[in-house]
């Protein structure tokens, strides 16, 4: 048997190729939309991908199961648990098998046993793997978004992201029963989850790619509860805000959608197109580092640096129903596009090279910039109230870490529609935990007409390290 791990750091998404070397057949577990890495490994290992399986209807990325079905004829194994709202309506287009708790199927000599593990979603399944060529008992379990290393899946996404009211508590209670069942598994079983640190599908996920059932029983906080009410309170508390695009992913992953046959290749546009696009209300995303954007940028553009959090914030801010444009280095455009299409943002209509900013200035067009300041440099103005202080962290972070006295709070993802809540007569000092998200926020503020913006370098972390005043639980301390 061959087991190969794939990880997309921008989505914190883990997927797996499992191959039977005796028969040359392979299956992909929870594939991402870009299927080239699976095909490359299969070819190198002289395997044929004959199937794909999903643990659930994903919310944070587009599954590549359909791409595998159309490209190589992969048979799809999909959950048939949950009510009518959680069925794969696209499934009849492809060869498929619907799975219930206790079902088994094989790929070559490798047996998969289905374990219904609802909580994160009603239809969620986990998959016990047995290599029957050499063993009669399973060696591990693919847990999807059920059990992570150091955490468990959140049950509130259906309510917060998909707008299905009353499902968070019901999901938490389902999760309690699923966890109790997980605790009965043998300690030696390996645990292969679908996400790592940084995913919004849970809180406090570990960065280690795999674990064991026994280790998680000892150290996973989600497995320490015996009382259901205490468990529900813990699980629902302090969950991060779900990205706006999660609701779109749920729909696209269960209904019909365009299948990606090749990576889109947006047109390289000349700088003289930029003004007309912006004047027409087009959204232009500058993917340069925040340091470069702060020094000079084209008015009306927003800055989402192309780093490991790019996909998440693109999902918060970019439209699914109209074209948008990029400012990006030509050599990185394929990677940027690949990150965007992984969450279904296919409408990249064109791109400008970073040199377009200099060319823009050479044409006599105005540029914008925003200030940056260390906590020690700006503290007196903040504490005196000479500026408007904006905190763009999540609510859970504020609860855990504390706040700077007098700060307005608008979580970054909600900022575009709430800019008008900020007082207009003072400069705005914006901060997050470290200064990364606040740089994105600074660009959004300026794109929405707030001229005087200052990004707090080092954010709340360096403010506190400098010994400046912080409030926790309503109490102020220096």
Residue 472: C-alpha distances to residues 239, 310, 394, 432, 433 (Å): 19, 31, 15, 16, 15
If you write DSSP's letter for every residue of 250-292 in order, what string do you get?
HHHHHS-----SS----EE--GGGHHHHHHTT-EEEE-S-HHH
What are the backbone dihedrals phi and psi of residue 40, each rounded to the nearest 5 degrees, phi first? -65, -45
CA separation for the pair 6, 222 (Å, rounded): 25
- Name 292's Cβ contacts closer than 8 Å, sequence gap at least 6: 354
* Token reading at 174: 């389902």
Pairing of strands 13-20, 2-8: antiparallel
- Active-site residues, by number, are 432
CA separation for the pair 127, 193 (Å, rounded): 11
CA separation for the pair 148, 172 (Å, rounded): 16
What are the backbone dihedrals phi and psi of residue 11, each rounded to the nearest 5 degrees, phi first? -110, -5
DSSP lists the bridge partners of residue 98 as 78
Q: Are 393 and 355 in contact (CB under 8 A)?
A: no
Q: Are 15 and 29 in contact (CB under 8 A)?
A: yes
Residue 102: C-alpha distances to residues 79, 80, 146, 282 (Å): 12, 12, 17, 51
CA separation for the pair 315, 99 (Å, rounded): 31
* DSSP-based three-state secondary structure for 244: coil
Q: Are 199 and 58 in contact (CB under 8 A)?
A: no
């Amino acid at each position: 048997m061959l087991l190969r791990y794939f990880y997309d750091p921008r989505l914190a998404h883990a997927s797996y190729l499992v191959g039977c070397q005796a028969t040359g057949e392979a299956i992909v577990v929870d594939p991402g939309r870009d299927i080239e890495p699976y095909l490359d490994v299969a070819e190198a290992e002289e395997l044929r991908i004959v199937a794909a399986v999903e643990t659930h209807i994903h919310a944070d990325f587009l599954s590549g199961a359909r791409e595998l079905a159309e490209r190589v004829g992969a048979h799809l194994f999909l959950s048939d648990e949950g009510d009518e709202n959680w069925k794969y309506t696209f499934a009849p287009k492809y060869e498929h098998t619907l799975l219930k708790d206790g079902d088994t199927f094989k790929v070559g000599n490798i047996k998969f046993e289905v374990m219904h593990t609802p909580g994160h979603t009603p239809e969620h399944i986990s998959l016990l793997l047995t290599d029957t060529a050499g063993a009669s008992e399973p060696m591990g379990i693919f847990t999807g978004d059920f059990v992570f290393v150091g955490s468990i899946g959140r049950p509130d996404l259906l309510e917060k992201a998909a707008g299905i009211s009353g499902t968070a508590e019901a999901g938490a209670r389902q999760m309690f029963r699923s966890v109790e069942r997980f605790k009965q598994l043998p300690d030696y079983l390996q645990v292969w989850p679908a996400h790592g640190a940084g995913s919004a599908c849970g809180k406090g996920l570990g960065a280690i790619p795999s674990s064991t059932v026994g280790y998680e029983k000892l150290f996973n906080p989600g497995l320490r509860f015996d009382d259901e009410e205490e468990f529900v309170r813990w699980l629902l508390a302090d969950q991060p805000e779900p990205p706006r695009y999660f609701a779109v992913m749920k729909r696209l992953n269960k209904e019909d959608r365009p299948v990606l046959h090749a990576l889109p290749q947006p047109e390289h546009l000349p700088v003289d197109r930029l003004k007309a696009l912006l004047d027409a209300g087009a959204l232009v995303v500058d993917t340069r580092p925040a340091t470069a954007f702060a020094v000079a940028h084209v008015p009306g553009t927003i800055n989402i640096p192309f780093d490991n959090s790019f996909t998440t914030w693109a999902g918060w801010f970019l439209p699914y129903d109209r074209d948008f444009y990029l400012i990006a280095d030509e050599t990185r455009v394929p990677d940027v596009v690949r990150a965007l299409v992984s969450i279904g943002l296919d409408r990249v209509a064109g791109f400008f090279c970073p040199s377009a900013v200099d060319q823009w200035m050479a044409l006599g067009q105005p540029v914008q910039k925003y200030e940056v300041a260390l906590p020690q440099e700006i503290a007196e103005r903040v504490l005196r109230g000479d500026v408007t202080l904006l905190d763009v962290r999540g609510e859970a972070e504020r609860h855990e870490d504390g706040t700077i006295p007098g700060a307005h709070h608008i979580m970054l993802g909600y900022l575009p529609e709430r800019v008008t809540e900020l007082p207009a007569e003072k400069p705005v000092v914006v901060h997050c935990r470290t200064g990364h998200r606040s740089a994105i926020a600074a660009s959004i503020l300026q794109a929405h007409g707030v001229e005087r913006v200052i990004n707090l370098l080092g954010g709340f972390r360096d403010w506190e390290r400098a010994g400046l005043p912080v409030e926790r639980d309503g109490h102020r301390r220096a």
